[in-house]
Structure 1
């Protein structure tokens, strides 16, 4: 028996934890989606000789891919309004990397941009 991850798992989780955002594909246009925002995604970077490393912290969002007419790609843009708690200001982001999970969701690694 196969599990419909999108409707049984990802959809209900987004129903509880997601917040509204506006997605702007690189190709043009915009549409509303919901995202699960996380401003503390850690990525370990090891240098070639493996004696030293660095940790990068960047914002990311979890998304339900069924919300998109085409899969998100690098250089798409995202506007996320202020956080519900008021601790996070509204901001524009550029998608640095898309990491699909093979179950209908993806993590978008983001870079905050200057509003225009």
Structure 2
């Protein structure tokens, strides 16, 4: 099932759940983007029993000029600057951008 353009827009609206950002693709330029920022639980790769959080920014792919790729950058309002480490499409039209702090 794919999300219809605009049907998920309420969730990404900064007045509701969303957080505004500026997207910087590797090839240059930029544009505003709205998504949902979270810091999900993550198990560190350095050893057993080490846990932390990982920044994630979820977007509606149907509203983007192009699909985000690894090494694109984001400046997320109130959160800072990030590099896209792993874009993860979920098959429904949303993409979870697994981020690293820049």
Q: Distance in 2 between matches of 1:74 and 1:19?
A: 21
Unaligned runs of 5+ in 2: none
Shift of 1:56: 4.1
Matched, 1:107 2:99: no
Q: Kindly report structure 1 stretches of 4+ aligned residues shifted beyond 6 Å.
A: none
The 3-state SS of whatever aligns with 2:12 is helix
Moved more, 10-19 or 25-34: 10-19
Shift of 1:98: 0.6
Aligned-residue CA RMSD (Å): 2.4
Shift of 1:67: 2.4
Task: Please identify which structure carries the higher helix content.
Answer: 1
Match in the other structure for 1:33? 33
Q: Distance in 2 between matches of 1:56 and 1:97?
A: 17
TM-score between the two structures when normalised by the length of structure 1: 0.72
Bigger radius of gyration = 1
Match in the other structure for 1:86? none
TM-score between the two structures when normalised by the length of structure 2: 0.81
Unaligned runs of 5+ in 1: 83-89
Shift of 1:4: 5.3
Q: Distance in 2 between matches of 1:31 and 1:4?
A: 24
Shift of 1:12: 2.7
Q: Distance in 2 between matches of 1:98 and 1:71?
A: 9
Shift of 1:110: 0.8
Match in the other structure for 1:87? none
Q: Distance in 1 between matches of 2:54 and 2:89?
A: 17
Q: Distance in 2 between matches of 1:26 and 1:45?
A: 27
